[in-house]
Each structure stands twice: as structure tokens, then as C-alpha cells.
Structure 1
């Protein structure tokens, strides 16, 4: 699914192969986001706020408006846009490094504010674009270019569990963690991403989906091994689940 040269409806707009590396999970997530926008019929009023990193390419493959934010500031850009254009559908799309390293403060304050905005955080547990350095979500013992003997939690701390930090914020109305490690996982991820956008369409409040994906290049693994790693070691720590779902409320904007 990382080869997205086949168009999906009108939203996914590609005439060439993507720039994502072979096996990159971003291709799957980009497709799922495009499907959700298409299914809800909101393509003409949707804007993506993308971060710095591999996720910053996602809007190249969707026929929607987009803003490229400064590093880590996508949630703040999204708030400004949503307050100016409240009828538009606004979502951020960025990786774990962008979202929960330099951008953690922006993310948590945006979530706590509770505006109807959607955040898709694509977590591959490394800084993929810049060479595979440790990110806030790298696993304990994980070898990266900056933790050559593995992440040592006594020195670098524990991997951040971002949805768990947000689940008691009253402004967060849909909150989930998903994975693309297997076809079954992808079907669940599709449902969560759809729900997150539905939450915004209904005007309920903030919605957030963390999607666990492999980065064969950053992990220095072949594609098959990277997906197995994502479905086993990663899922053992970052457990896919729905933390909160208030999308069935009747409070429709």
C-alpha cells in the first residue's frame, strides 16, 4: 500500500510513485486518511497542517489544501486556522518526533483546549527523515544512531505514552492508538481514523489517533522484519486500543 499511484476517489490524487521509502507505514496511513475524508464528503473543506519530517509529504498525495507548519507547531497552526475558519475540517499529520518531542507542549495544550481538530500522529519510534535517531517513543533497549547500545531508560527516560497523557482531558472526545502491522490492524486503524474525523464533523471536540508504523530505513531492518517488530515488540509497549469514544453524542455542530 505504500505505492499509492492508484487514485482513491477524488481525495487521493497521485500520478506518480510516492517518495516514501519501500515498506514505509506512512503510505498506508495516508491512504486511510484520504479514505476517511472521501467517505465523509468533506474534501472541499478540509485542510491538512503537516509537520516537518516524512509526514510532511502526505499532503502531496491528497487533493486538499495544506499548510506546512514549523517543526512541532502543527497543533498551534491548526488552532489558529480552526478559529478563523470554524466550518472547515482541520487535521494535523506528523510523526512522533515532530509531535511529541519539540511539539509536545503544543499538542497537549491544543488537546486541552478541546476545539474540534483532528491529530494523526504517525509513530515509527525514530526520527526517520534525519537518520534514525532516538525519538521520545523509541523503545527501551532500541538501537538508534544516537543510542548505539540501546535506549537506556536510566539516562534517556521511558518511551512516552502520549494518549495516556491525554485521556482525562475533558476536551478530548475521541482518543485511540492503532497499528498497521497486519491487515487486521489496518482495518482497525481505518475505523479509528474515520471516527476521529467524524468527531470533528460533529463538532464534539478534539480527536487524536496515534498510529504505530514501521520504518525499515530508520530501523535498519528489511520490510518483513520491520512489520513483525511493529506487531510484536512495539505493540507490547504501545498497546493498540480506543481510550475514549464520544462520537455517538447528539451534540452535532
Structure 2
């Protein structure tokens, strides 16, 4: 099927998935959400699952994801998306079900739901946007905030003795027996975008093969919360976020035979 609409503007050519709506996105300039939205829309179209995909979005910057990707959506209470996704997938196993969560949602109020859904091996995809801060509510410290990182609630930087260590969710997911695929990617360059799309595609395919829980973490910038320009935020992310949250697969139990 033809999955993309070609838009020509002067000498530049853009492609837009048909599942992306015409609504203007509310995300801040430089935000990663729009890129990840596009990738999800492309993958759903390419898999021919437009009418069988259900997304679950909780509270956070992506709470209005339903306004941009034209699939079925369910709104969940803060942190509860994996619990809702569990129910949906069990009731309708032929559906492709995923959650779309930020670090303040997944790694704080939703830690219980996220860890236990993954430990049970629910056949869902967890898309985890990690920008190390509460982006929607004023830039407060999140569980994933780095040591020394300045936020509205840590104006002098995060202190380990006072605020504890940054919570690294990827390795936690990877050690659970119910996860089949845990990967950490980014979308700050064209090459990174391609890798993230490949990772998301594998995760969605895993869910439809009932292989267990797949987690795709996308390390992202939040130039508004970080008080930086988009360019400086990407550079800061490369210099500071990537060393603590290195990119790549953390777990992949899917054999070459199962991919065929």
C-alpha cells in the first residue's frame, strides 16, 4: 500500500504518513515527540494495522497523541498505561497495543504498572520517552534526572545524598523474564531516526507474535525544560545523557528464525 503523502515545498520534498492528522502539533520546537509520532504512524501503515492498533497515552506531554496519530486511543490515569494496555491486549489479542509514556510517568508514579506488566510478559509495546525531566508541568526533577542536572526543583543540581541516584529503567526492564526486547535509541540525527524506526518495527512485530513485552526507550532532549536552544539541547544530550543512558539493545531474545 502507498503509505506516504508527498509534500513539495520549493526545492524540498517531505513525506508524511497518512495516519498523521493535519492538526498542528503543540510540542515545543526541537521536541522528539513529533518524530516518534511519525515513525509510529509509518510502521502501523507499513504493517497494515491501521484498524487494529490501539495506543494508550497517560498524563504528560504526549497526552494529546490521539490528536496527531489517527488510530484508536485510550487515555489512562497518570502512570497506569501498562495496566490499561494489559487489559486491552488480553481482551483483544489480535490488536497491536502499545503505551506511549514519558519518564516522569513511567519511572515515577507508573513504576509499579510498568515493571509488573513487563515482568508478566504482556504482549504489548512500551514506548518510553526519556528526557530526564518533567517537561509538561514546569521542568521539575524526574527519577531519570542526572546528577548535577538543574531543574526547577533542583536549582543547584541533583544531589545523590539528597535526591538519590538517577533511575535507569532500561537495565531494570532487561533483567525481567517477561521482556523479549529492550532497546535504547534516539532521534536527534537521520541515522538515529532510522535505527529507532527499525527498533520500533521489531517491537511491534514481537507483540503480534506473542513473544512478551518489548520496551523501546528513546533518549530525548527537552530544550524548554532544560532552558536551551534545540541545537544546544541536542549537544547537551549527546555529552551528558548518552554516557549515562548509552544507546543500543539491552536485551533481544528474538532469534533470527523467529524474525522470518
Aligned pairs, number: 247
Alpha-carbon offset, residue 182 of structure 1: 2.2
**2:23 touches 2:68 (CA, 8 Å); kept in 1?**
no
**1:140 touches 1:151 (CA, 8 Å); kept in 2?**
yes
Whether 1:10 aligns to 2:18 is: yes
Whether 1:123 aligns to 2:124 is: no
**CA distance in structure 1 between the partners assigned to 2:50 and 2:161 by the alignment:** 46
Which structure has the greater CA radius of gyration? 2
Root mean square deviation of aligned Cα: 1.6
Map of 2:152 onto structure 1: 145
Correspondence 1:124-203 to 2 at 5 A: 124-203=131-210
**CA distance in structure 2 between the partners assigned to 1:137 and 1:232 by the alignment:** 16
Whether 1:244 aligns to 2:255 is: no
**CA distance in structure 1 between the partners assigned to 2:215 and 2:46 by the alignment:** 19
Of 193, 217, 220, the match for 1:213: 220
Alpha-carbon offset, residue 130 of structure 1: 0.3
Of 48, 59, 66, the match for 1:59: 66
CA distance 1:128–1:25, shift in 2 (3 Å):
same
SS in 2 for 1:196: helix
Alpha-carbon offset, residue 7 of structure 1: 6.9
Alpha-carbon offset, residue 51 of structure 1: 1.2
Q: Which runs of 5+ in 2 are unaligned?
A: 1-6, 8-13
**CA distance in structure 1 between the partners assigned to 2:58 and 2:65 by the alignment:** 10
**2:182 touches 2:214 (CA, 8 Å); kept in 1?**
yes
Alpha-carbon offset, residue 88 of structure 1: 0.6
Moved >4 Å (runs of 4+): 249-252
For residues 164-204 of structure 1, give each alpha carbon's deviation from its aligned partner in whole angstroms, at most 9, with x where no partner exists: 01212221011101112222222211111111111112221
Map of 2:31 onto structure 1: 24
**CA distance in structure 1 between the partners assigned to 2:19 and 2:210 by the alignment:** 22
**2:23 touches 2:67 (CA, 8 Å); kept in 1?**
no
Alpha-carbon offset, residue 241 of structure 1: 1.2
For residues 36-59 of structure 1, give each alpha carbon's deviation from its aligned partner in whole angstroms, at most 9, with x where no partner exists: 212211111000000101121222
**CA distance in structure 2 between the partners assigned to 1:232 and 1:164 by the alignment:** 21
Alpha-carbon offset, residue 17 of structure 1: 1.8
Deviates more, 1:112-121 or 1:25-34: 25-34
Give the TM-score normalised by structure 1. Answer: 0.93
Give the TM-score normalised by structure 2. Answer: 0.90
